[in-house]
């Protein structure tokens, strides 16, 4: 093999490896928000979600940042392997834009015969809204944990009740 051919082969191999690494890391990055015509929309699915009503629904925490005129629509879908099938559900809510990150929860109800259960699931959130110039949307998908709601327990120290005592001073009668 000539030196020129070796250089071409080496350059091609390096380019392919660099492209593969770039593609691998680019897909692992965070979601990119929508920004156009002064409209900013960003949605981020958070974890864990809370299992409700024996799997009939889950509450999914979502962070919403937007500056749309009026309110925006936030839609969430959840998909989870459940036994030999798949549990699916969706839910939505309207949110007013405050310009900074707002923590909300979206109720996602199971739509099929399979209930949600504790464990891993895939949640996808989409935010859609408009301003006076344009409309847009942003989407985020994450693997989340579904957990049961834990009831906080309060430990109360035992108390001892002591009967009140009354002290009476002796009286002297002078007469």
Compute CA distances 155 → 23, 141, 149, 150, 152, whole Å: 53, 39, 19, 15, 10
Topology annotation, domain 31-148: Immunoglobulin-like (2.60.40)
Ranking 42-46, 86-90, 137-141, 152-156 by mean pLDDT, the lowest is 152-156
Cut 0.75: pTM above it? no
Rounded Cα gap, residues 121 and 47, in angstroms = 10
Task: Give the model confidence (pLDDT) of 43-98 as tens digits.
Answer: 999 999 999 999 999 999 999 999 988 899 999 999 999 888 999 999 999 999 98
Higher pLDDT, 117 or 164: 117
Give the start-to-end residue ranges of the domains of the chain: 1-30, 31-148
The DSSP secondary-structure symbol of 152 reads P
Bond preceding residue 77 cis, omega within 30 of 0: no
Mapping DSSP to helix (H, G, I), strand (E, B) and coil, where does residue 97 land? Answer: coil
Name the range with the highest mean pLDDT among 38-42, 46-50, 67-71, 99-103: 46-50
């Amino acid at each position: 093999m000539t030196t020129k051919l070796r250089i071409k082969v080496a350059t091609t191999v390096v380019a392919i490896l660099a492209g593969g690494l770039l593609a691998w890391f680019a897909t692992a990055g965070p979601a990119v928000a929508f920004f156009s015509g002064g409209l900013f929309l960003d949605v981020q699915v958070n974890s864990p979600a809370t299992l409700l009503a024996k799997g009939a629904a889950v509450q999914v925490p979502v962070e919403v940042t937007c500056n749309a005129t009026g309110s925006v629509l936030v839609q969430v879908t959840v998909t989870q392997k459940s036994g030999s099938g798949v549990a699916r559900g969706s839910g939505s809510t309207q949110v007013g834009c405050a310009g900074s990150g707002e923590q909300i929860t979206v109720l996602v109800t199971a739509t099929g015969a399979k209930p949600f259960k504790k464990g891993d699931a895939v949640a996808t959130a989409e935010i859609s809204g408009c301003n006076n110039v344009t409309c847009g949307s942003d989407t985020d998908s994450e693997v989340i944990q579904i957990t049961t709601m834990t009831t906080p327990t309060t430990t109360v120290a035992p108390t001892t009740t002591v009967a009140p005592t009354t002290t009476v001073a002796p009286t002297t009668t002078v007469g």
